[in-house]
Structure 1
Amino acid sequence: MRLDLVSLLDMLVRIDSINPSLVPGGAGEANIARALAQLLTQQGVKVELDEAAPGRTSVIATVKGRGGGRALMLNAHLDTVGVSGMTAPFTPRIEHGRMYGRGTYDMKGALAACILALLSARGVDLRGDVILTAVADEEHASLGMQSVLTRVTADAAIVAEPTGLQLCTAHKGFTWHEITTHGRAAHGSRADLGVDAISHMGRVLVALEQLNRNLQQRAAHPLLGHASLHASLIDGGQELSSYPERCTLRLERRTLPGESVTQIEAELKDLLADLGAQDPTFQAELKLTLAREPFSTPPTAEISRHLLEQAERILGRAPAKVGQGFWMDAALIAASGIPTIVFGPDGSGAHATEEWVDLDSLRACTDILTATIRVFCA
């Protein structure tokens, strides 16, 4: 049975796969993983399910080559963000060459393209294997990708996140931190006893603003621009008539290739040490809560060259080379030693109330992935 791209995407969008780590009670990936596994098994493809946590299921599907060739991984994620504010998010509709619905753009459209590209490898007499990893939890903690990488490797990987048919070879990473300032609780009438933790955090905020300005003065990455940081969440104090004994700030630092977590923590610790040197009553502590490394693949990598050649032949133009500010599973794949690029369709509305993928670009993406497989795995 030959699968149609539009019908396949329609099927995928109709399956609720909201990430339960983002939306309590979300459906998770088990249902869509089972449906995809059944579909691929019916097509004669070897399928394994990988459950990183209860209900957090990924699919590993392989079309084996005859041996002696290079293996190529195609990667997409199964989970979506929530649907608050959307009307009929799981009922796809097509208007003016676009399919609308939750996940069409981020990234079930690209998943459909990867599925058809994988199936195209059957019966072509390739030497190398083609592997589809359709993973859980990319939108939160990447449990699926981390688990799958303990079972799968390849000679190169294409992550099919939407890029507007541009070649992405770099994206930013991020670190999350908590800063807590400590004061001394006292009645609001006892200025002689109280130490205001919130006022101390105000000094931290001013210093962080200056650090962010300094980041903009450093050399820019050719594809990603500058690193940045921002204050995300803050809370503190007990009640109106008390000096606050504690204030906690949560901040995010967006990172560039070449920046290390150690370096970033050192900058923040130095910032707090400087504030402490100015005021002996200033007390603060820093905690790293999460780090995700940036991603960069040399544009000279062989998988980049093959995809660019096939894309230019199919599109009639050379795709632009770009970087992305947001984080992707590409960083984990590359960190495992697999040369990785990102290439996917055009559209809009990731995490928004109106989401769509351009169907012509999705067809072109499928053709380019298919052609790249036949060259790389030949």
Structure 2
Amino acid sequence: MIDRLQFIKQRFDEVSDLVIQPDIIADQKRYVQLNKEYKELKALTDKGAEYIKAVGNKEEAQEIIADGSDAEMVEMAKMQLEEAKELIPQLEDDIKFMLIPKDPEDAKNVMVEIRAGTGGDEASIFAGDLYRMYTKYCENKGWRTSVVDISEGTSGGFKEVIFEVSGEDVYGTLKFEAGVHRVQRVPQTETQGRIHTSAATVMVLPEAEEFDVHLDMNDVRIDFFCSSGPGGQSVNTTKSAVRMTHIPTGLVAQCQDEKSQHKNKDKATQVLRSRLYEMELAKKQEEDAAKRSSQVSSGDRSAKIRTYNYPQGRVTDHRIGLTIYDLDGVMNGSVQKLIDELQLVNNTEKLKESEVF
């Protein structure tokens, strides 16, 4: 492993020099790629330095113990040896996981789309609950959220809500949330206390940069219309809302959250670009899925991934058979424990397939 870490340190030094070169900074795409590689290599190099130090401490302690001439030094060396023996395997595991080939999409920001499914008004209310859950989670992570489009339900919640999330490694974290979420509870509208089952679909789209996908505006029909819902005097009086239709694919994106037509157009363009990118990404994921099987769903939007059972106060993730009896905590944004387990299973599967070691 030390040979591998020395090679990584060498590459880190090369990237450190490249990332400050004026011609690299001027090439936005190349600069973004190298800056991402720099961050990954720095984390690996720092962890590698810890590992090399621990191995050195182990060898030093073994030499002192073998010499045996100073009883006090031998006792100290024995303690140092035990610490190193305990630390080295842990560092090796950390490094192995860090060396797993990363999905290039993981560092991207995302568009999250939540749509009410089966269950009528209760499904819309549940979609609203999921939206609040994710916005609280993002707030706890220090990520920024921005609403793109909202279609309100007739009895609360949302028929559909689209919002943007930006921060560090957003897609790599939230991609496990894509799929069908199911809720089991007594709806507010239920008079006889019967438990109903409703569902909402969550889509997590990696945000596409201009150099990720080509969007020819000649292929796009743009319609302007009056906004609906909250927004003050300008609602229903100015055509600030924007709907964009990509004619070759039939994909549609719209935004009416901003008062400015220009800002709505920019947001709708970003959503449309992300949906086009997601189409291409889905094709690639299907090809990858044919080559490898994983316990963690690749994000198939038709797959039932999780059940939120209110009478029992539990959340069950069906992909890995994990049940947590902390429904209130999860619905208040404590989603990390679920995501951590999903990432662990996913990384373990990748590690089995990886040829790193």
Higher strand share: 1
Q: Flag the structure with larger Rg.
A: 2
The structure showing larger relative contact order (alpha-carbon pairs under 8 Å, at least 6 residues apart) is 1
Superposition TM-score tier, normalisation by shorter sequence: under 0.3
Q: Normalising by structure 2, what TM-score?
A: 0.28
